[in-house]
């Protein structure tokens, strides 16, 4: 009953909607794909050579499909009117006030989008059936609420609401979309719901092997997304908790991570100790899960998952505290070079970046910060750190400039370029003693020590690293 091939649009041209739709258009040249946003500047950027987000390989794919079967537009109404499949990929930030503040998701954007879809369908002459697809991470049972809004506001149009959570990670979005571990399509288990699931699953099957396209009921799909992110974040908090124990016992967190990861039941990925996880998803999704558990009367489950965030906050604080403690308990007036501000490498995204917490903590200790990141825009620093703090912070376009004259360097993001800097040259330009804090374990600590740096690395007992006998110091 659905048009074949179905026309597709997406409300929200952000980190998820933009790349996802771009890859869909590339892989399905016979399908017209329109990506819409309320933000005119964002759409103009998608239509230009300076895309609004940085993602390796994205530019090439956009240029191949744009104007052929991929379009970026602010004309949301026309897109809704003409398309069969309507993805909704709008922000769902954690609520800042009201019921569930600090935990529950703010669904204002989602509900507005649903009402907009309903209004256009109502006004439209043609009553073609619609499939509305939830792409943003939303709390379990949101699809139900959306279906209710639609049913009440939209008469005469047959529609189905599906959940199709996105599992791409930033920095590897294009690879992840080309070869996903799985695509998950959840929907109502009614004949109409199953037909809608088939229609959407068939789009993905054009490039994703059939056994990787999983279909479930609506709630399983919604809950799987929250659970996947909670499990991934839990692994990081787990290894980070052990990193603290490594530092005091003489164990090495990289060795421990490797030794446990080779157990096929555990697996090797996502075990890198760090200054803490960031990104728009992990914290938000866990808080969502916690809120959900509480509201369904499961406080023990809520508490269990909440610890993942408690541990992450502690790790970020612990890093800043270790810096101050190592530098003779004061950083007041000292220049500190911050290498990396994005929440991970290969993205300019800073949402929930641990760098924000570390910079704020060091600023409160009155350190003089000089920040370098290859992709973060100048405006973003102002947004994240505030105008007042920025008056005292230097943003550099060159890592050597940031490090010159500094008492210490802190590596916060694991950018590859930081591995190959000329650390002898940097050392020569710094105040002595010169400290380096590796929050990602990407540097050669022995070599840095030989140059003369005092090295601190997460999850490493530095005395042990430097002790050729290999015996742990007491």
Could you tell me which residues are annotated as the binding site for NAD(+)?
12-17, 37, 42, 90-94, 136-137, 170, 281-284, 351
Applying CB under 6 A, among 5, 8, 9, 11 the residue interacting with ligand ADP is 11
The beta strands (E) that lie in 37-165 are given as 70-73, 85-88, 130-134, 159-163
Is the CB of 277 or the CB of 456 nearer to ligand ADP? 277
Q: Does position 429 bind ligand ADP by CB under 6 A?
A: no
Stretch of residues binding ligand UDX (CB under 6 A), selected from 107-115, 273-281, 298-306, 456-464: 273-281
d(CA 170, CA 190): 35
Applying CB under 6 A, among 2, 6, 8, 15 the residue interacting with ligand ADP is 15
Q: Which of 9, 199, 281, 293 is catalytic?
A: 281
Is the CB of 84 or the CB of 240 nearer to ligand UDX? 240
**Pairing of β 159-163 and β 33-36:** unpaired
Q: Which listed option, ligand ADP, ligand UDX, none, makes contact with residue 52 (CB within 5 to 8 Å by class)?
A: none
Q: What is the smallest separation between the CB atom of 277 and ligand UDX, expressed in angstroms?
A: 3
- For residue 217, give the H/E element and its range: strand 213-217
Which residues, including other chains, have CB under 8 Å from residue 32's CB and lie 6 or more apart?
7, 8, 69, 71
Applying CB under 6 A, among 272, 284, 445, 460 the residue interacting with ligand UDX is 272
- Considering only residues 116 through 155, tell me which ones interact with ligand ADP, judged by CB under 6 A: 116, 136
**In 3-state terms, what secondary structure has residue 278?**
coil
Residue 78, number of CB atoms within 10 A of its CB: 13
Q: Does position 270 bind ligand UDX by CB under 6 A?
A: yes
| Residue list for the binding site for substrate | 166-170, 225-229, 265, 272-278, 343-344, 440
Closest by CA position to 184, among listed 146, 147, 222: 222
Q: Does position 14 bind ligand ADP by CB under 6 A?
A: yes
- Considering only residues 440 through 469, tell me which ones interact with ligand ADP, judged by CB under 6 A: none
Q: How many residues of this chain interact with ligand ADP, rule: CB under 6 A?
A: 22
The beta strands (E) that lie in 125-210 are given as 130-134, 159-163, 183-187
Half-sphere exposure of 376 (CA within 13 A, CB side): 30
Is the CB of 73 or the CB of 220 nearer to ligand ADP? 73
- Beta-sheet strand order (sheet of 213-217): 70-73, 33-36, 8-11, 85-88, 130-134, 159-163, 183-187, 213-217
Are the CB atoms for 395 and 401 separated by under 8 Å?
no
Q: Does position 170 bind ligand UDX by CB under 6 A?
A: yes
Q: What is the smallest separation between the CB atom of 236 and ligand UDX, expressed in angstroms?
A: 5
Which residues, including other chains, have CB under 8 Å from residue 416's CB and lie 6 or more apart?
345
What does residue 338 show for φ and ψ, rounded to 5 degrees? -105, 115
Is the CB of 36 or the CB of 358 nearer to ligand ADP? 36
What does residue 57 show for φ and ψ, rounded to 5 degrees? 85, -10
- Considering only residues 248 through 307, tell me which ones interact with ligand ADP, judged by CB under 6 A: 280
Q: What is the smallest separation between the CB atom of 345 and ligand ADP, expressed in angstroms?
A: 18
Q: Does 403 qualify as catalytic in the annotation?
A: no
Residue ranges binding ligand UDX (CB under 6 A): 166-170, 229, 232, 236, 270-272, 274, 277-279, 281-282, 343-344
Residue ranges binding ligand ADP (CB under 6 A): 11-17, 36-39, 42, 76, 89-91, 109, 112-113, 116, 136, 280
Q: Looking at the annotation, which residues are catalytic?
A: 281
């Amino acid at each position: 009953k659905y048009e074949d091939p179905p026309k597709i649009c997406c409300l929200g041209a952000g980190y998820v909607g933009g790349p996802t739709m771009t890859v869909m258009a590339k892989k399905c040249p016979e399908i017209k794909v329109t990506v819409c946003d309320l933000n005119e500047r964002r759409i103009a950027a998608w239509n230009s050579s300076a895309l609004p987000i940085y993602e390796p390989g994205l530019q090439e794919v956009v240029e191949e499909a744009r104007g052929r079967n991929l379009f970026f537009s602010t004309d949301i109404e026309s897109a809704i009117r003409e398309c069969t499949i309507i993805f909704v990929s709008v922000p769902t930030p954690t609520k800042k006030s009201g019921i569930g503040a600090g935990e529950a998701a703010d669904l204002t954007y989602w509900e507005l989008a649903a009402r907009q879809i309903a209004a256009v369908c109502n006004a439209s002459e043609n009553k073609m059936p619609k499939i509305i697809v939830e792409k943003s991470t939303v709390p379990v049972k949101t699809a139900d609420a959306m279906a209710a809004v639609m049913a009440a506001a939209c008469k005469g149009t047959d529609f189905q609401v599906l959940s199709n959570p996105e599992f791409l990670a930033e920095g590897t979005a294009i690879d992840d979309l080309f070869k996903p571990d799985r695509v998950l399509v959840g929907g109502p288990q009614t004949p109409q719901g199953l037909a809608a699931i088939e229609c959407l699953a068939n789009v993905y099957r054009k490039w994703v092997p059939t056994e990787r396209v999983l279909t479930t009921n609506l709630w399983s799909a919604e809950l799987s997304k929250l659970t996947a992110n909670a499990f991934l974040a839990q692994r990081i908090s787990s290894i980070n908790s052990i990193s603290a124990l490594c530092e005091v016992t003489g164990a090495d967190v990289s060795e421990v991570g490797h030794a446990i990861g080779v157990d096929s039941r555990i697996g090797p990925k996502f075990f890198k100790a760090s200054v803490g996880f960031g990104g728009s998803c992990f914290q938000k999704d866990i808080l969502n899960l916690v809120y959900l558990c509480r509201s369904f009367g499961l406080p023990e489950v809520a508490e269990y998952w909440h610890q993942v965030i408690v541990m992450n906050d502690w790790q970020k604080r612990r890093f800043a505290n270790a810096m101050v403690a190592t530098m003779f308990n004061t950083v007041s007036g000292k220049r500190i070079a911050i290498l990396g501000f994005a929440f991970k490498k290969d993205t300019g995204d800073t949402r929930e970046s641990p760098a924000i917490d570390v910079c704020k903590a060091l600023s409160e200790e009155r350190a003089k910060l000089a920040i370098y990141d290859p992709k973060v825009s100048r405006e973003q620093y102002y947004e994240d750190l505030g105008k007042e703090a920025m008056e005292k912070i230097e943003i550099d376009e060159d890592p050597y400039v940031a490090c010159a004259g500094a008492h210490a360097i802190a590596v916060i993001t694991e950018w590859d370029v930081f591995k190959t800097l000329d650390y002898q040259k940097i050392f020569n330009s710094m105040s002595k003693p010169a400290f380096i804090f590796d929050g990602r374990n990407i540097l050669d600590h022995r070599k840095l020590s030989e140059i003369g740096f005092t090295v601190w690395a997460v999850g490493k007992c530095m005395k042990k690293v430097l002790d050729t006998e290999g015996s742990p110091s007491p």
